[in-house]
Structure 1
Amino acid sequence: MATLMTCDPHITDPLAAELNAVIHGLQLAIDSGLTKLIVEGDSVSIIQALQSKDHNMSWLGNRVTEARNLLYQLEQWKLSAIPREANMVAHGLAKQALSVRQMEIWMEDAPTFILHAIQADVTR
């Protein structure tokens, strides 16, 4: 397991933040040598944009293409839209990221402030 947290003060839109998180997560997975990945997110529109074969003409189109290119570097991947209440680990990281100045990465162990959310996810 790996956990990444970063804050980009230039990103103020929730969809852009969600897509940014996907891109950072994919890059971390690739850099860590992972070849098979399941990406879960509670933004149905981001998941659908990534699954679509069409050229994305939205203002996030270049970032969608960037995420797709990262996905194509993986041997096997799956994208799943999940309910917000099943994505509390990501929301805990996002909330905490508002107070960090640089990227933080945890390998193997999760940060203590999200352990309760991980436990809740495991018991669902």
Structure 2
Amino acid sequence: MLKCCGCQEVSYVRGRRQIGLGSIIRDAGGRVMACSSLVCEANFDLKNAKAMVMCKGLTYSKDCGLKNCVVEMDSKSVVKYKVNEGHSNSRYGSILGSITVLVSASRNDVFKCVSKKAKMVARVLANEAMGILEEVFWMKDAPTFIRSLVEDEQMD
């Protein structure tokens, strides 16, 4: 059984219609398996953006054929709504509905709330997204700066 650890982060500037989404997929040992940066033109508030990045991270893990993922977010309300099977009347109910579809009976995903410090690499990917025009997805060959951050993180 492969245990995947996925961290997501959002780079968000109030008043701008752009958000940067960063996701990283790691194996149980913390090694990078895949990562992505995506910029979206959207008028999301921060909670909507956090729900969207959770949805994107789950989509990436599903596309990679991974099951039994540990999804880490720093948004307690998004994690709480997902763990409690969502709240369709919330501002991000439609996104939570998409997440529920992704997490089918055949998957055994766990959702955790972690500190922002624990997600530094995902935050860097989200900030990186703000400077690109399209989605970038790395499979096994993460950029050098990401590999360096992961190595530094594992030494702490």
Q: 2:81 aligns with which of 49, 63, 71?
A: 49
Relative to the length of structure 2, the TM-score reads 0.72
Cα contact 1:3–1:105 (8 A) shared by 2: yes
Q: CA deviation at 1:90?
A: 1.2
Question: Quick one: distance in 2 between partners of 1:121 and 1:27?
Answer: 25
Task: Give, in angstroms, the shift of residue 109 of structure 1.
Answer: 2.4
Contact conserved, 1:4 with 1:105, CA < 8 A, in 2? yes
Which residues in structure 2 correspond to 1:24-35 (within 5 Å)? 24-35=56-67
Q: Is the Cα contact below 8 Å between 2:37 and 2:129 reproduced in 1?
A: yes
Could you say what secondary structure the match of 2:91 adopts? coil
Displacement of 1:5 in angstroms is 1.1
Q: 3-state DSSP class of the match of 2:35?
A: strand
Please say which of residues 21-30 and 107-116 is displaced more in the overlay. Answer: 107-116
Instruction: Using CA pairs under 8 Å that are at least 6 residues apart, name the structure with larger relative contact order, 1 or 2.
Output: 1
1:117 paired with 2:149, answer yes
Runs of 4+ in structure 1 deviating by more than 4 angstroms, as ranges, are: none
Distance in 1 between the 2:92 and 2:58 partners? 17
What's the counterpart of residue 120 of structure 2?
Answer: 88
Separation in structure 2 between the aligned mates of residue 74 and residue 91 of structure 1, nearest angstrom = 30
Q: Contact (CA 8 Å) 2:86, 2:93: kept in 1 or not?
A: no
Deviates further, 3-12 or 39-48: 3-12
Greater strand fraction, Structure 1 or Structure 2: 2
Identity %: 27
Structure 2: which 5+ residue stretches go unaligned? 1-32
Kept after mapping to 2: 8 A contact 1:5/1:93: yes
What TM-score do the two structures reach when normalised by structure 1?
0.88
RMSD: 1.7
Amino acid at match of 2:83: Q
CA offset at residue 54 of structure 1? 4.9
Contact 1:11 1:17 (8 Å CA) reproduced? no
